[in-house]
Chain A
């Protein structure tokens, strides 16, 4: 029995810069060309200045942050994850952009010591077909 692959993103005009940067293991988020605020995911309008022509440019950001919540996925309704469970998804607040929250896999695994407020840094999962998905890794305690 061959296992199905994980779903891959389908980059479009509004997201191509994000996935191109991720493929290079760089976290780049949408920056409004009117007010220069960062938002994610890129919306139809800029959520900060409400410009209807935000001209978003994907800009590398400091992807370090803190864990605001997490869940251990012991079952997935998606194809391609049966061999991956259990895995941890973390809800991360970016330290440099506290109004942005990202969700990604914690690459340290389901047994890792997770706690609220734990510090994480960006990591990337290479899922094939040239795609890398932003994820997170626990910072080593200093």
Chain B
């Protein structure tokens, strides 16, 4: 099967809402999700009763021993619909990784197929009390037995191995990664709802931070937060009758199956091999060429993903992303640079998964970014997770 997505540009985002992003909300996650959902529906010029589809991904991303409780630590599509008093024609949860592109694809498919007319996509993230990844296991059964007895556990060690392979192979410096993280924090500092609003990170502070799992320090990881975002999807035709300029979904792609490896082991070559397949499909399905994207938003939940996505998207040759960064190539304030973190990303907003990337595409392409509005934003690309594991969505300000 080859060729462009048959529903390319036939479905659009018509409105959104984003809650404040905090360490611990004074509201239970479900209540925050309801308020955010109502705001997004109102923003799109609709009422709750119009919405007949609800989609989310309710993954609770922690390696720790925290339980997931609907309405408290996660919010499923049916929980939200039920509490809003809606019996939806379509409700679904995306189960894979790359939760935002995955959920967007379910919503787009539902609208394009006629399963639902107005679909609300929400993402609710919760920061549990206590150490986020702490796990008191004494025995390692099942797949854990292959790595846990060795002490290999948790996402920091996972990304540390892949990143160090990159660092050693290509000679990437800590100064380059300091520039990545400060770029995310600079942009996040300009966003009112961000956890890091008005709190940029000087590169020197990054460079002074002690290592946790070399070469990863605390600033290479996004901070766990409470926060909810919601987006309203409908057909391009219906969206044109709603108050805001529609932002069209040109296409999407999610990661391909990976080689069989140890649990949480992502050798760099495995990542990049599958990543090139993810992006190849993205260009084919969306009908967009890499050079046409003026607003690529790369995922940065762990800072090394920025390099992996930049290279997978062809913004620079393999092994060159760190040099492009040092040369000012991703500085959102510099003419001619590629502003891959203009929305602040996860490092500049908090652990909202792929929401900041999607939201930046929506706000800029809809002309709703306010003081941060960029002069040229016609094709946006929102990434989430690792390029081999997650996915990406291409957005357009005009159908083509």
Question: Which residues of A approach B to under 8 Å, CB–CB?
Answer: 4-12, 15, 19, 39-41, 43, 47, 68-79, 81, 84, 87, 89, 91, 101-105, 115-116, 127, 131, 133-135
Contact = CB atoms under 8 A, between A and B. Distances in A.
5 contacts: A12-B142, A39-B260, A70-B164, A78-B153, A79-B136
Interface string B108-137: 000000000000000000000001011111
B149 A133 contact: yes
B265 interface: yes
A69 B150 contact: no
Interface in B149-167: 149-154, 157, 160-162, 164-165
A9 B154 CA distance: 17
A-B pairs with the 9 shortest C-beta distances?
A71-B160, A10-B141, A69-B165, A9-B145, A72-B214, A116-B168, A47-B260, A41-B146, A77-B133
Contacts of B136: 4, 79
B138 interface: yes
A4 to B, nearest CB: 7
B47 interface: no
A103 B158 CA distance: 11
Interface residues of B, number: 47
A8 to B, nearest CB: 6
Interface string B38-75: 00000000000000000000000001100000000000
B210 interface: yes
A103 B145 CA distance: 12
Contacts of B215: 71
Most chain B CB within 10 A, of A10, A15, A91, A127, is at A91
A89 B152 contact: yes
Contacts of B150: 89, 103-105, 133-135
Nearest to B210: A74
B315 interface: no
A3 B213 CA distance: 22
Interface string B60-92: 000110000000000000000000000000000
A78 B157 CA distance: 12
B135 A131 contact: no
Given A11-B145, A71-B216, 20 more contacts: A4-B138, A5-B138, A7-B140, A7-B148, A7-B149, A9-B145, A9-B148, A10-B139, A12-B142, A43-B260, A68-B165, A68-B267, A71-B164, A73-B213, A74-B212, A77-B154, A81-B151, A84-B151, A89-B151, A101-B262
A74 B214 contact: yes
A43 to B, nearest CB: 5
B31 interface: no
A135 B147 CA distance: 11
Nearest to A6: B149
Nearest to A79: B136
Given A7-B149, A8-B140, A75 B213 contact: yes
Nearest to A90: B161
Nearest to A19: B145
B158 to A, nearest CB: 9
A84 B211 CA distance: 16
A135 B151 CA distance: 11
Contacts of B157: 71, 73, 89
A102 B262 CA distance: 7
A103 B169 contact: no
Given A7-B140, A89-B161, A71 B149 contact: no
Interface string B247-290: 00000000000011110010110000000000000000000000
